[in-house]
Amino acid sequence: MRSKLSKTLATRIRVGALAALTVFALSACSGPSAGSPEPGSPSVKNFSLAIQTPISSMEPANLNDGQAAYVWSAIYDTLLFVDHNGEVQPNGAKKWEYDPDKTRLTLVIRDDMKFSDGQPVTVADVVATLERSRTAKGLQAPALSAVASVTATDDKTVVLQLSRPDPVLLIALSQGAGAIAPAKALDNKDIVANPIGSGPYVLDKATVPGSSYVLTRRDDYWNLGAFPFPKLTFRVIADPTAQFNALQAGELTAGQLQPQQVAPMEAKGLKVTRLAGQAHLTMLLLDKKGELVPALADERVRKAINMAFDREGIVKAILQGAGKPTVQIFNPDSKEYNEKLEGYYKYDVQGAKNLLAEAGYKDGFSVTMPSTPYSTTFEPTVTQALGDIGIKVSWEPVPPQNTGAAIAGKKFPMVLYIDALPAAQKMIGTYYGPNAYTNPFRYTDPELEKLVAATATADEAERVELSKKIAAFATEHALNAPIAYMGGTIATDPGVEFVDPKSAMGSNVRQYEQAK
């Protein structure tokens, strides 16, 4: 990458780069706001949204917390949920309590939940689902890695005994790790495509797996007032232009816009919400132990990679200003954001080359990265930037539904990734914990482990300071190469309101309410 991105390159990829945000702007629980129309009233509308990839599984142990959560979180209750302020709230568990050491979590389960087959939800179902997700070696197992056992102490209480304090366990229980299914259904292979849950919706027979998912609201749901839409439709539309066309045609009630599309949609009467920071673009340096690419075990090499990116040029030329250069991943609007770190890595091709030479890689080296829906439009920029310092990049196509496996499967040493900006506790668990999803090679450092462990028992003020220290450690030791915060614009039908400006809730239909 030159000091200024070439005009041709920037023009060629900027539209696709902005469109990539569709994956995240529409991802991420609160009760209905005062003044919202009552379910069933004439003004209530159905809700429709595009998702980029088909859903690979609705089995609790293999739930994906990305866009697939729009569908499964409407079918399953989770034990807890996160509201649009990023605060953990009761849900399937009406209250919870840690012991003083935070190694024993007690959950009191609601007694008014029913599965869609009419059977009541029992503590036995909660225990069985958590045990399956914990032990099945599926996508949710890492989120429950600190849980040593799950037991029911009476007909309302479930106790999770932990092997160590886990600062992100409550967040995990608001996501796929906290989903509740009938114990008797867990061994049924049909659960992958035809789940039974206690959530507010059920799959409608109009569903075409891999193409569209239609959900009908249950009238007997315990928290019906929080879900005003009688029917939900999630269409699988991978192409961002096709998504925009569907929104423009009135086939979707919400969607992501590129800058040049805002004025036409406002003229059409759609409501436009601008989000300053909703995702981060980061080069994940997965192989920090050097198992696939020995060079990545050297901190000097990882620092050189950070110096290869012209972050300001990427934001200006490719994101058209809809973002902010960064070297960290905590939400810039959060208390945990460490402003002092910005600018830590300057764009310096020669300096990066010098570091590579100092580490013994004067002639560079080669890496293979997965080509995913997140990376495609950025690949020319990344290839050029790393090529300029001597790192040759090859891209291996990966199907959209296998993006998670591309990160967790230890096949690739590096991955270009876009992720949302949830609460700092969740970010710590995802990126810096010993069993983090983005740490498949299980890189460890005593200082980092100590900082992460301390967040589990710290009060809020202490946790904020610890988070800033974690961000500083990650930056100074080049654990990854964050590039930019990405903003976006969401358009909604006049009858629908987007109520999650911080994108704190994850992929959940409760990001949307009926317009007041």
The answer, yes or no, to whether residue 45 has pLDDT greater than 60, is yes
C-alpha count within 13 angstroms, C-beta hemisphere, residue 416: 32
pLDDT at residue 103, as a whole number: 95
Is the pLDDT assigned to residue 430 strictly greater than 60? yes
Distance CA 150, CA 159 (A): 6
pLDDT at 29 over 60: no
CA 239 to chain centre: 20
Using a pLDDT cut of 70, give the percent of the chain over it.
90
User: What average pLDDT does this structure show over 388-393?
Assistant: 98
The answer to whether residues 213 and 240 touch, using CB atoms and an 8 Å cutoff, is no
pLDDT of res. 233: 97
Sheet holding 201-203, edge to edge: 47-51, 231-236, 212-217, 201-203
Q: What is residue 316's DSSP assignment? A: I
pLDDT score at 276:
67
Q: What is the pLDDT of residue 5?
A: 47
SS (H, E, C) 447-459: HHHHHHHHHCCCC
425 against 110, higher pLDDT:
110
Mean per-residue pLDDT over the chain, rounded: 87
In this predicted model, what pLDDT tens digit does every residue of 273-316 receive, in sequence order? 877 677 899 999 999 999 999 999 999 999 999 999 999 999 98
- Contact of 461 with 240, CB cutoff 8 Å: no
Q: Among the residues of 347-455, which ranges form H helices?
A: 349-358, 379-388, 403-408, 424-431, 446-455
**Please, is 62 exposed, middle or buried when counting C-beta atoms within 10 Å of its C-beta (0-12, 13-18, 19+)?**
buried
Q: Rounded distance, CA 393 to CA 384, Å?
A: 9
Which range is most confident: 257-266, 303-312, 406-415, 488-497?
A: 303-312
**Strands annotated E in 22-153:** 47-51, 80-82, 88-90, 93-98, 104-109, 147-152
In this structure, the number of other CB atoms found within 10 A of the CB of residue 155 comes to 10
Q: Which of 13-27, 78-92, 104-118, 404-418 has the lowest mean pLDDT?
A: 13-27
SS3 143: helix
DSSP-H helix ranges across 43-109: 69-75
Tokens, residue 125: 């179902």
Q: Which amino acid is at 219?
A: D
Q: Output the pLDDT for position 77.
A: 97
- Using CA atoms, how far apart are residues 265 and 280, in angstroms rounded to an integer? 26
Q: Looking at the predicted structure, is the pLDDT value of residue 33 above 50?
A: no
pTM: 0.75
Per-residue pLDDT band at 6 (split at 50, 70, 90):
very low
Q: What is the pLDDT of residue 75?
A: 97
Q: 53-236 maps to which CATH number?
A: 3.40.190.10
Q: Answer with the residue of higher pLDDT: 266 or 358.
A: 358
Percent of the chain exceeding pLDDT 90 equals: 61
Q: Please say if the pLDDT value at position 21 is more than 80.
A: no
Buried b or exposed e, range 171-198, using 16+ CB within 10 angstroms: bbbbbbbbbbbbbebbeeeebeeebbbb
Please check the confidence at residue 22 and state whether its pLDDT lies above 80: no
**Is the pLDDT confidence value at 384 over 80?**
yes
Q: CA-based Rg of the chain, rounded to a whole angstrom?
A: 23
Q: pLDDT of 98-140, one tens digit each? A: 999 999 999 999 999 999 999 999 999 999 999 999 999 899 9
Cα–Cα distance for residue pair 130/151, rounded to 1 Å: 10
Query: With b meaning 16 or more CB within 10 Å and e meaning fewer, what string describes 437-459?
Result: bbbbbebeeeebeebbbbbbebe
Query: Which residues are CB-contacts of 189 (< 8 A; sequence separation ≥ 6)?
Result: none
Domain ranges of the chain: 7-20+280-488, 53-236
Q: With 90 as the cut, is the pLDDT of residue 144 above it? A: yes
What's the distance, Cα to Cα, between the start and end of the chain in Å?
48
Instruction: Say if residues 308 and 346 touch (Cβ distance below 8 Å).
Output: no
Q: Looking at residue 228, what is its pLDDT? A: 93
Greater model confidence, 358 or 8 = 358
Q: Is the pLDDT of residue 37 over 80?
A: no
Here the tokens at position 86 are: 């990023």
| Residue 502 identity | K
Does residue 385 contact residue 313 with C-beta atoms inside 8 Å?
no
22 or 252: which leads in pLDDT: 252
On whether the 7-20+280-488 domain is CATH 3.10.105.10, my answer is yes
**Is the Cβ–Cβ distance between 362 and 406 less than 8 Å?**
no
| DSSP-derived pairing of the beta strands 391-397 and 365-371 | parallel
Distance of CA 388 to the CA centre of its chain: 31
- Rounded to an integer, the average pLDDT of 3-14 is 39
| pLDDT tops 80 at residue 40 | no
**Cβ-contact 428, 455 below 8 angstroms:** yes
Average pLDDT, integer, range 385-391: 98
The DSSP result for 345-365, as a single string, is: S---HHHHHHHHHHTT-TT-E
Residues 180/121, Cβ–Cβ less than 8 Å: yes
- Per-residue pLDDT band for 19 (boundaries 50, 70, 90) equals very low
Q: What pLDDT shows up at residue 9? A: 37
Residue 26 has pLDDT above 70, yes or no: no
CB neighbour list of residue 94: distance below 8 Å, 6 or more residues apart: 108, 109, 110
